[in-house]
Amino acid sequence: MTLFEHEAQRNLASVAPLAARMRPNDLEGFVGQDHIIGKGSPLRRSLESGHIPSFIMWGPPGTGKTTLANIVAGITGCHLNAMSAVTSGVSDLRKAVNSARERLGMNGQRTVLFIDEIHRFNKSQQDVILPHVEEGTVVLVGATTENPSFEVVSPLLSRCRVFTLKPLSEVEIASILKNAVRSTENGLGKQTLVIEDNALAMISNMAGGDARWALNALELAVDSMPIGTSTKSVTSESIAKVLQTRVRKYDKGGDRHYDTISAFIKSIRGSDPDSSIYWLARMLDAGEDPIFIARRLVISASEDIGLADPRALGIAIAAQQAVHLIGLPEGRIPLSEATIYLASAPKSNSAYKAIDAALSEVTNSGDSEIPLHLRNAITDLMANEGYGKGYEYSHNYEGHFKRSENLPEGLSVNHFYDPGKLGYEKYIADRLSGWWGDRYIADSSEKFPS
């Protein structure tokens, strides 16, 4: 490093945000993630023995991924080459690998190649790293907020351990904030501060497990005090004015998006209106597309309620049309109405199971011949071939029903629909059993689990 570069780095450190200045340099100062680097954990024992495996850290922002990468390189004596997948490309990767090879050959020092936001690299970029990780030229330490199962190529993933970092607890966030307030070297300790415990508790609560956000929020609250004030007093009221809203951990195309909609649909399926409304509110508050929510309600109306209450599908479609027509914020009301109705309705997945069973039989049996009596005899030739012969017009018979066999011959399965026993579907079961006898089992007693 040149003298100019050293001076630039020193000046940058002095003006860096509080969150950057307060990064710990060792595991003792690292807060949280005890399941990964706590005393006695496999990774910690490995690092203390001087061995560092390639691994990928998966977790939300502000949980210590970058900090942990720096610590890992430091305690193992490795050279750290850090880059971001947002601003780097294949040429940068190749330069890093060549430097790592030279460093290993000249002085035996290994290189930790830390790639932040590794999910931003495409498949070909990730493939560039693969052989060098496999042969040990570099130790790969990746960080990502996205699920590695979907964003990291399988060959690379198989050569790395994956560690899942959890959002920090409010107690852990509060501990980090108190350290920043006390620190005279990198924190706020040189200033004369009076900070209420309630103020720190408010930041910890609003941070959503993100230590970086919490430290930046604290610094913003301190810096927002009037100029010339000798003693800066940070109260819960001043924090509320500066911050206004808490952090929302939601990504419209990532895990939180899919996990939340999954919780929503499963709560509806579980006949739990309160939970269903809560997850609906979580999605709306996070800015989820209301049409996406409405589409999932339409699916649930068919898949989970079905013929137990045929009105559910109409209500879900009406909610979708209403949201499309009026938008938000008023659209939250028909979404709420449909959600409560679906969650409270009797449940049946018989239609869902019936079509899947029929599709499976079609796949297995292929294009079985359509019975002649079900075909239309449009021409004399077709009539002479037996098309339509033996067909009985149902409306000519009592109850508008005449029993006939309408499935092709040679099927391995000839029964696909089993009526449920709740709601309207019990009447369907009664009607079908009267027509078809043992093929459909009628049960007119509606039973609810205790």
- The CATH number given to whatever domain includes residue 76 is 3.40.50.300
Is 174 within a domain? yes
pLDDT band at 253 (very low <50, low <70, confident <90, very high): low
Please, are residues 440 and 365 in contact by the beta-carbon 8 Å criterion? Answer: no
What pLDDT, on the 0 to 100 scale, is given for residue 403? 83
Same domain, yes or no, for 294 and 320? yes
Buried b (16+ CB within 10 A) or exposed e, 73-97: bebbebbbbbbebeebeeebbeebb
Q: What are phi and psi of 114, to 5 degrees?
A: -95, 120
Say if 332 falls within a structural domain.
yes
Give the pLDDT score at 441. 61
Share of the chain above pLDDT 70, in %: 90
Assess contact for 96 and 138: CB atoms under 8 A. Answer: yes
Claim to verify: residue 43 and residue 140 sit in the same structural domain:
yes
Please give the C-alpha separations between residue 135 and each of 31, 42, 52, 65, 73, in angstroms, as whole numbers. 33, 23, 14, 25, 19
Residues 310 and 385 in one domain: no
Domain boundary pick from 317, 344, 371: 344
pLDDT score, position 7: 56
User: What CATH number does residue 303 fall under?
Assistant: 1.20.272.10
Among 184, 213, 243, identify where a domain stops.
243
Most confident segment among 92-101, 369-378, 413-422, 433-442: 92-101
Same domain membership, residue 152 and residue 41: yes
Residue 197: CATH number of its domain: 1.10.8.60
| 26 pLDDT above the threshold of 80 | yes
pLDDT of residue 450: 35
Same domain, 288 and 407: no
pLDDT at 446 over 50: no
**Per mean pLDDT, which range of 65-79, 165-179, 184-198, 351-365 is the poorest?**
184-198
pLDDT attached to residue 247: 55
Asked if 278 and 390 sit in the same domain, the reply is no
Q: What pLDDT does residue 228 have?
A: 62
Query: Total structural domains in the chain?
Result: 4
Mean of pLDDT values over 112-140: 90
Same domain for 414 and 391: yes
Which pLDDT score, from 0 to 100, does residue 266 have? 93
What mean pLDDT is predicted for residues 246-264? 72
Q: Is the pLDDT of residue 442 over 50?
A: no
Residue 398, judged by CB atoms within 10 A of its CB (0-12, 13-18, 19+), counts as exposed
92-95 contacts at long range (C-beta below 8 A, 24 or more positions apart): 93/125, 93/128, 93/129, 94/128
Identify the sign of the CA torsion 157, 163, 167, 173: negative
Taking residues 107-111, report their average pLDDT. Answer: 88
Is the pLDDT at 377 greater than 90? The verdict is: no
- Buried b / exposed e over 157-170, threshold 16 CB at 10 Å, is beebeebebebbeb
Report the run of H or E that residue 142 belongs to, with start and end.
strand 139-144
- Please report which confidence band the pLDDT of residue 255 belongs to, taking 50, 70 and 90 as the band edges: low
Q: What is the DSSP string of 316-368?
A: HHHHHHHHHHH-TTTTHHHHHHHHHHHHHS----HHHHHHHHHHHHHHHH-SP
Task: Check pLDDT > 90 for residue 188.
Answer: no
Task: Check the CA dihedral 331-257-317-325 and report its sign.
Answer: positive
The pLDDT-based confidence of 55 (bands split at 50, 70, 90) is very high
Asked whether residue 55 is assigned to any structural domain, the reply reads yes
d(CA 220, CA 370): 75
Mean pLDDT estimate for the chain: 85
Strands 193-195 and 232-234: parallel
* CB 64 within 8 Å of CB 32: yes
Same structural domain for residues 61 and 156?
Answer: yes
Round to whole Å and give the CA distance between 316 and 59: 35
In a domain, 376, yes or no: yes
Among candidate residues 78, 80, 68, 75, the one with its CA nearest the CA of residue 34: 68
State in Å, rounded, how far the first CA of the chain is from the last one: 73
**Backbone phi and psi for residue 96, each to the nearest 5 degrees, phi listed first:** -65, -40
- Say if 248 falls within a structural domain: no
Structural domain range at position 190: 170-243
Q: Are residues 84 and 147 in the same domain?
A: yes
pLDDT at 244 > cutoff 60 = yes
**156 belongs to a structural domain:** yes
Whether 48 and 92 share a structural domain: yes
Entry pTM: 0.62
Residue 11 maps to a domain: no
Residue 428 has a pLDDT of 84
305/396 same-domain check? no
In a domain? residue 357: no
The stretch 300-316 carries a mean pLDDT of: 94
Q: Which of 206, 221, 243 is the last residue of a domain?
A: 243
Same domain (yes/no): 221, 339: no
- At residue 444 the predicted structure's pLDDT band, cuts being 50, 70 and 90, is very low
